[in-house]
Amino acid sequence: MCLVTNIQKYSIHDGDGIRTTVFFKGCPLRCAWCHNPETQEWKRQILTNQEKCTGCMECERVCPNGAVRIENGKAVTDHEKCTGCGECVTACLLNIREVAGKEYTVKELLKELKKDEMFYEESGGGVTLSGGEVMCMDMDYIEELVKQLHRQGISVNIDTSGYAPYENFKRILTYIDTFLYDIKAMDNEVHKKWVGTENTIILENLKKLSADGARIYIRIPTIEGVNADEESMKAVIKWLTDEKIKVAQVNLLPYHNTGSSKYSRLECIYDGEAFLVPSDEKMKQLSSLFTEAGFLKVKIGG
């Protein structure tokens, strides 16, 4: 069984056509700009709109683990003690608490995804599995899910950081139309600083995927102060070219902070306050570097 935080319908940024994107919960990386922080931990979590909390103490009263307390008139959750049982969500008089993470059987998830089959057929879309990191989920579950979707003629994309055992990729390669593969930084020290890990496994897996004939869209989160400069992009271009990676499309994804509000709801700090959005002119300049280097399909955005 896997935990799902969201099933986003009518998505047009996670591959071709209109897609339904499934966000799985759990990720080995800690990107400083992550816009889905609720998908990082491998367990259910409680999100709270503390601004609206009146300190009524109902959540504290019902919590079976002593994970909620009232401080300065607001409910505070100890996420180490919290099991995400949802008792406090049910008890909240203002409906300002919610559980991030819901279990679906493969059968239940398939039923939900097939509801939009008409849109997939008309637009050339399908299902995108995202996260967190989908390639670190229970691979028996993921393999069965993608097999079933494939058998029913539904296109499947995998949105991945690449930070997972390559045998996981091998297990499902036959059933996947496109891998939306992130490259965040070529320099290992930069990668460790902003992502929390080195990039060796990520790059090795990308080489193997390309050699095994996978269709690959390279996606580069583009962030001022991290990689939104010619030197960083030329390093990506050189590596892709030198390693002869078969790239069907390059997507440069301008940084946005739309997920920053989720951090306060998880009662944690957003480390991306200093990040800036690259200008339209800067994005066009960086895009042209790939075009000039011979990449046939380059897009700004998803």
The pair of structure tokens assigned to 95 is 């409906």
Confidence check: pLDDT of 240 > 90? yes
- What pLDDT is stored for residue 181 in this prediction? 98
- What pLDDT is stored for residue 270 in this prediction? 86
Query: What is the rounded average pLDDT of the residues 75-97?
Result: 94
223 vs 164: CA distance, rounded Å:
24
- What pLDDT is stored for residue 186 in this prediction? 96
- What pLDDT is stored for residue 230 in this prediction? 97
Domain 2-41+102-300 fold is TIM Barrel (3.20.20)
Query: For residue range 10-51, what is the model confidence (pLDDT) as tens digits?
Result: 998 889 999 999 999 999 999 999 999 999 999 999 999 988
Confidence check: pLDDT of 188 > 90? yes
Among residues 78, 74, 82, the alpha carbon closest in space to that of 57 is found at 74
Query: What is the rounded average pLDDT of the residues 91-109?
Result: 96
Contact 145, 22 (CB under 8 A): no
Confidence check: pLDDT of 259 > 90? no
- In this structure, of 12-26, 52-66, 165-179, 255-269, the range with the lowest mean pLDDT score is 255-269
pTM of the model: 0.94
Tokens 């503390």 -> residue: 50
208 vs 162: CA distance, rounded Å:
11
203 vs 196: CA distance, rounded Å:
15
Question: Which residues belong to CATH 3.20.20.70 in the chain?
Answer: 2-41+102-300
Q: Does the domain formed by 45-100 have CATH 3.40.50.720? A: no
Confidence check: pLDDT of 256 > 90? no
The pair of structure tokens assigned to 10 is 């009518």
Task: Give the pLDDT band of residue 98 (cuts 50, 70, 90).
Answer: very high
Confidence check: pLDDT of 273 > 80? no
Question: Which residues belong to CATH 3.30.70.20 in the chain?
Answer: 45-100
Query: What is the rounded average pLDDT of the residues 56-70?
Result: 95
162 vs 169: CA distance, rounded Å:
9
Distances (CA, A) of 170 to 62, 134, 158, 249: 46, 14, 13, 21
283 vs 106: CA distance, rounded Å:
40
- What pLDDT is stored for residue 252 in this prediction? 98
- What pLDDT is stored for residue 258 in this prediction? 81
- What pLDDT is stored for residue 145 in this prediction? 98
Tokens 């670190």 -> residue: 136
Query: What is the rounded average pLDDT of the residues 75-101?
Result: 94
- In this structure, of 59-73, 98-112, 254-268, 273-287, the range with the lowest mean pLDDT score is 254-268
Q: 10 Å Cβ neighbour count for 8?
A: 15
Query: For residue range 155-176, what is the model confidence (pLDDT) as tens digits?
Result: 999 999 999 999 999 999 999 9
Task: Give the pLDDT band of residue 295 (cuts 50, 70, 90).
Answer: very high
Average pLDDT over the chain reads 95
